Amino acid sequence: MRHGSFQLMKSVNKTNILNKIRTSEPISRAQIAKETNLTPPTVSSIVKELIEENLVTESKLGESNGGRKPTMLHINSSAFYVIGVDAGPETVECVLTDLAGEVYNRIESKLTLPITNDQFIAVLKENIGKILQLSTIGLEKIIGIGVAMHGVVDVETGTSRIAPNLNLKNIPIKAALEQEFNLPIKVENDARAMALGESWFGGHGELNSMVAVNIGRGVGAGFVIDGKLYHGAQDIAGEIGHMAIDIHGETCECGNRGCLQTFTSGAAIARRASEQLSDNSSGELTGKEVLELAENGELAAIKILQETGEIIGIGLTNLIHLINPSKIVLGGGVMKSEKFILPAIEQTIEKRALTPEAKGTVVVMTSLGDDATLLGAVSLFLVELFAEV
């Protein structure tokens, strides 16, 4: 046996038992032993440690199967807390949650553009500082700060390499926040964070693979495979907004033509509506106004949203053929028009996917609403604590 392998095995067992309690609570020691294939003495020893560390609590006795009634185990959600940050591109929002994702404090502020790297970091520091001031939780119980950032993120260094909607590059988020707050910091792309948040808090059950797609100012996706985020070789996995749909289409902010987000972002929908609704007396429309027109029966607005759904459906069909996920979860401001967009997405997948099974890929709306990305930022730390090794 290699040096340290016994300690590693002990750590793996501990993590697996903790996760089993999280996903199956209330659960007895005997059930844990049966479902993890660990010996009862091993389970009892590790559970004792977890109780001493205040991560696990015991509750009333469970049902007896003929012998003594078993004591049931639960996760102590208030053992530790996490700060989650949804950073831009229009606002910075922060929450303080417990291990179950229950929000205790919330702060939000608008970003004023144009903005510099230093000004952006100052806004992050200000909001996190306010959360800490509001909270009665001791700093020693906060295990870290997770930041969900749009654009391309170097997760290893915690640097925002490209934040297109802010027109910023190389923002040293992790380094700046660690220096300021002396807490562990994790920085992740917002769509990938959303995907992780969905897998932890979205109530989707145990899935081998799931894709979450965030459609708003831009379009991004996150892939969760076997409970872990997939980043790709250079941390750009999930940038589906720059999937080419029409090589002769409009120029995207990335410099290429006909990217998915030039058709499906909120700004793209508003632009098409402003061009097509020539009798619109108010000038340029917003995405919200397009939805209001559609809900009031404006046929041209309905058609624009349905066409948007069809184009999103083409993009998702491409994803299905590449990744073949068990489920696709949709969120973001554009999907507030789900009444008009979602049926068109489903019809397009049904028409274009290769196999009957692929045609039946489950596509649902996020159950977490506008908090999906924030809870994803929180879950960046929960993965380390609970996820099976």
Instruction: Reply yes or no on whether the pLDDT at 66 is more than 80.
Output: no
Same domain, 361 and 377: no
Indicate whether 349 belongs to any domain. Answer: yes
pLDDT (mean) for 298-306: 95
Out of 58, 75, 92, a domain closes at 75
Indicate whether 107 belongs to any domain. Answer: yes
Residue 6 has a pLDDT of: 41
Q: Answer positive or negative: Cα dihedral of 246, 251, 257, 262.
A: negative
Neighbours of 237 (CB within 10 A): 17
Read off the pLDDT band of 208 (50, 70, 90).
confident
Read off the pLDDT band of 387 (50, 70, 90).
low
Residue 261 has a pLDDT of: 94
User: Amino acid letter at 172?
Assistant: P
Out of 75, 108, 128, a domain closes at 75
301 or 203: which leads in pLDDT: 301
Instruction: Reply yes or no on whether the pLDDT at 332 is more than 70.
Output: yes
Q: Which of 245, 216, 229 is nearest to 319 (CA)?
A: 245
Model-level pTM? Answer: 0.84
Neighbours of 91 (CB within 10 A): 13
Same domain, 216 and 315: yes
- H/E segment holding residue 224: strand 219-225
- H/E segment holding residue 196: helix 190-201
Same domain, 60 and 170: no
Query: What 3-state DSSP class applies to 367?
Result: coil
CA dist., res. 78 & res. 97, Å (int): 9
Same domain, 313 and 179: no
Neighbours of 238 (CB within 10 A): 25
Neighbours of 171 (CB within 10 A): 26
Residue 34 sits in a domain of what CATH number?
A: 1.10.10.10
Enter the tokens of residue 14. 């501990």
Same domain, 21 and 90: no
Same domain, 244 and 344: yes
**For 348-385, what is each residue's pLDDT tens digit?**
999 999 999 999 999 999 989 889 999 999 999 988 78
The domain total for the chain is: 3
Residue 226 has a pLDDT of: 81
9 or 102: which leads in pLDDT: 102
pLDDT (mean) for 158-176: 94
Same domain, 94 and 109: yes
Indicate whether 201 belongs to any domain. Answer: no
Indicate whether 326 belongs to any domain. Answer: yes
Query: What 3-state DSSP class applies to 43?
Result: helix
Instruction: Reply yes or no on whether the pLDDT at 17 is more than 50.
Output: yes
Query: What 3-state DSSP class applies to 201?
Result: helix
Residue 200 has a pLDDT of: 87
Same domain, 337 and 215: yes
Residue 275 has a pLDDT of: 87
**For 132-143, what is each residue's pLDDT tens digit?**
999 888 888 999
Strand positions, DSSP E, 22-121: 27-28, 56-61, 71-75, 81-87, 91-98, 103-110
Q: Which of 228, 215, 330 is nearest to 269 (CA)?
A: 215
Q: Give the full edge-to-edge strand order of the sheet including 71-75.
A: 27-28, 71-75, 56-61
Residue 213 sits in a domain of what CATH number?
A: 3.30.420.40
Q: Answer positive or negative: Cα dihedral of 263, 268, 269, 271.
A: negative
Instruction: Reply yes or no on whether the pLDDT at 334 is more than 50.
Output: yes
Helices 299-323/338-352 angle, 10° precision? 40
Residue 364 has a pLDDT of: 95
Q: Of 62-66, 109-113, 191-195, 248-252, which gets the smallest average pLDDT?
A: 62-66
Residue 4 has a pLDDT of: 44
Residue 313 has a pLDDT of: 97
Q: Which positions ≥6 away from 205 have C-beta within 8 Å? A: none
Same domain, 55 and 97: no
238 or 386: which leads in pLDDT: 238
Instruction: Tell me the pLDDT of the chain averaged across its residues.
Output: 89
Task: Say which residue the tokens 């989650």 belong to.
Answer: 84
CA dist., res. 329 & res. 221, Å (int): 10
Same domain, 29 and 139: no
Q: Which of 117, 104, 111 is nearest to 77 (CA)?
A: 104
User: Amino acid letter at 7?
Assistant: Q
Query: What 3-state DSSP class applies to 5?
Result: helix
Q: Which of 83, 98, 19 is nearest to 385 (CA)?
A: 19
Residue 64 has a pLDDT of: 54
Q: Are 110 and 86 in contact (CB under 8 A)?
A: no
Read off the pLDDT band of 3 (50, 70, 90).
very low
Indicate whether 15 belongs to any domain. Answer: yes
Residue 355 has a pLDDT of: 96
Indicate whether 248 belongs to any domain. Answer: yes
pLDDT (mean) for 213-241: 89
Same domain, 97 and 167: yes
Residue 276 has a pLDDT of: 85
pLDDT (mean) for 297-311: 95
Residue 127 has a pLDDT of: 96
Q: Of 17-26, 55-64, 261-270, 376-385, which gets the smallest average pLDDT?
A: 55-64
Residue 22 has a pLDDT of: 86
Concatenated DSSP letters for 134-170?
H--S-GGGEEEEEEEESSEEETTTTEEEEETTTTEEE
Indicate whether 288 belongs to any domain. Answer: yes
Residue 119 has a pLDDT of: 96
pLDDT (mean) for 66-78: 81
- With a pLDDT cut of 90, the percent of the chain lying above it is 67
Residue 239, classified by CB atoms within 10 Å of its CB into exposed (0-12), middle (13-18) or buried (19+), is: buried
Look up residue 70 and give its DSSP letter: P
Indicate whether 360 belongs to any domain. Answer: yes
CA dist., res. 335 & res. 342, Å (int): 8
CA dist., res. 227 & res. 9, Å (int): 20
Out of 41, 75, 109, a domain closes at 75
pLDDT (mean) for 269-274: 92
Same domain, 68 and 211: no
Q: Of 284-288, 295-299, 338-342, which gets the smallest average pLDDT?
A: 284-288
Residue 319 has a pLDDT of: 94
Domain residues for the domain of 317 are 206-365
